[in-house]
A and B are shown apart, each in its own frame.
Chain A
Amino acid sequence: MIEETRGNACPGFPFMQLSVSGLSVQRSGRAVISGLSFALSAGESLTVAGPNGAGKSTLLRALAGLLPPAGGEIRITPEAEYTLGELSHYIGHADGLKTHLTVIENLTFLAAILDAGHGGISAGAALARVGLSHAARLPVSYLSAGQKRRAALARLLIAKRPVWLLDEPSTALDSASKAMLGRIMAAHLAEGGIIIAATHAELDLAGQTLRLGEAA
């Protein structure tokens, strides 16, 4: 309720810092990431680049708590009530939408399950932001790949979470939608959020860049 009373002028998220030190992640016994370290503060972004199979998705899944790290430490300061996964929006390759439900039904469900109500905007308003208002009452199975991606991105707006872990967020998006994505990412950073995005495409993120798999 406190966040609701805040206007645009003051930052939406309390200051937080994310530091990763010596992170190693294995998949099926093979080390995909080893000895990775970086640190991000509120309002900063990290673009993870690298060839296919370099471990970009593995890194994001490990940060979201979906893969147990084999070694190293992921630390949030100040100490938070929630884990990093619970503080994060993780958008992976799959859009996380139910094809049999309409777009608005999906988003209403996501708002509830993601425990929105901490300053997130309504499902309808989020659809307007991603330019899908006209498709709100269509089943997701009728949407194109780009429209599904936009509906998936709308969940970034309906529930406020400080960390965004985006795996190839601009896949299938047209240039106007890419610009929209750039705007909502910039707004998130301006509010004091953190974005970690794995991508081949150029995103308009000014922050640090991490290159995986270059040494090999």
Chain B
Amino acid sequence: MKSHAGQAPRRSPLVALFLRDMSIARRIGGGTSLGIVFFLILVTLSAFAIGPDLLLLGKIAPAILWISSLLAALLGLDRLFQADHEDGSLDILLTSRTPLELIVLVKCLAHWLMTGLPLAAAAPFFGVMLNLPAGQIRNLVLSLLAGSPALTLIGAIGAALTVTLRRGGLLLAVLILPLCVPALIFGVAAAEAGESSPVPFATPFTILCALTLMAAAGAPFAAAAALRQTSS
């Protein structure tokens, strides 16, 4: 056997997993841009459906943007664990000595950086399309930044439950969307807060942050338990 001394320092398992997921997402490509294009289409369709009433559009823009980004965030979520299940990587992750809960958390982080973060970054442009008042754009972006990690984390539970199903995407949406209602309510409330609204921004926003923290604390355990069950 060769000496071990000349090797590059080994990365920690979780850093290696994060870098692997990021580089796979970059190589496959399309995940980020597809999400943004889907977001754009949903926003445009809503605008066409509602008609050229700019006042009405501006009033309901936060709701349209939040629902659209929620649906766009679901794209690709079904592949979060399924790709690893199909090529046998999940077996390796399960027999690694790293807690599966942390593995789930790291995979969610990588997924959110490739999907949720770009959606939040694109939201101001789509807000302008919907005549969202300028003062609310900052609120919208902050609410999406704080709330979309919760959507990814809750989605991870559904992704873990549907990991063995070939067409699990639809079931995933059915399972996950009801659980996203609290984040949606407080997300839209935070985005709507402004001069015209009686509710100060901080109230729904802090609840939204709390929802994300709760999801970060609970969802990895639920998803890991589901993965242990379903992978067998």
Contact = CB atoms under 8 A, between A and B. Distances in A.
Interface stretch (B62-70, B91-99, B126-134): B91-99
B166 interface: no
Contact of A94 (B15, B91, B94): B91
A96 B89 contact: yes
A95 B87 contact: yes
A8 B1 contact: yes
Nearest to B13: A113
B95 A101 contact: no
Interface size class on chain B is 20 to 34
Interface in A46-72: 61, 64-68
A215 B1 CA distance: 44
Contact of A113 (B7, B17, B232): B17
Interface stretch (A31-39, A83-91, A174-182, A195-203): A83-91
A17 interface: no
Contacts of B91: 64, 66, 90, 92, 94, 96
A68 B96 contact: no
Contacts of B6: 122
Contact of B12 (A96, A110, A112): A112
Interface string B1-29: 11011110011110111011001100110
B206 interface: no
Interface in A158-190: none
Interface in B77-109: 86-89, 91-98
Nearest to A140: B87
B15 A112 contact: yes
A145 to B, nearest CB: 13
SS of A interface (majority): loop
B231 interface: yes
Contacts, number: 99
B96 A96 contact: no
Contacts of A205: none
A98 B97 contact: no
Interface in B5-60: 5-7, 10-13, 15-17, 19-20, 23-24, 27-28
Given A4-B4, A119-B4, A98 B96 contact: no
A95 B91 CA distance: 10
Contacts of A85: 94-95
Contacts of A115: 13, 96-98
A88 B16 contact: no
A51 B27 CA distance: 41
Nearest to B15: A112
Contacts of A125: 2
A194 interface: no
A86 B15 CA distance: 19
A193 to B, nearest CB: 13
Interface in A88-135: 88-90, 92-101, 105, 108-117, 119-122, 125
Given A98-B89, A105-B20, A122-B6, 9 more contacts: A8-B1, A65-B94, A66-B91, A94-B88, A96-B91, A100-B27, A100-B28, A115-B96, A117-B10
17 contacts: A4-B4, A61-B232, A66-B94, A86-B95, A89-B95, A96-B88, A97-B87, A97-B89, A105-B20, A112-B10, A112-B11, A112-B12, A113-B96, A114-B96, A117-B4, A119-B4, A122-B7
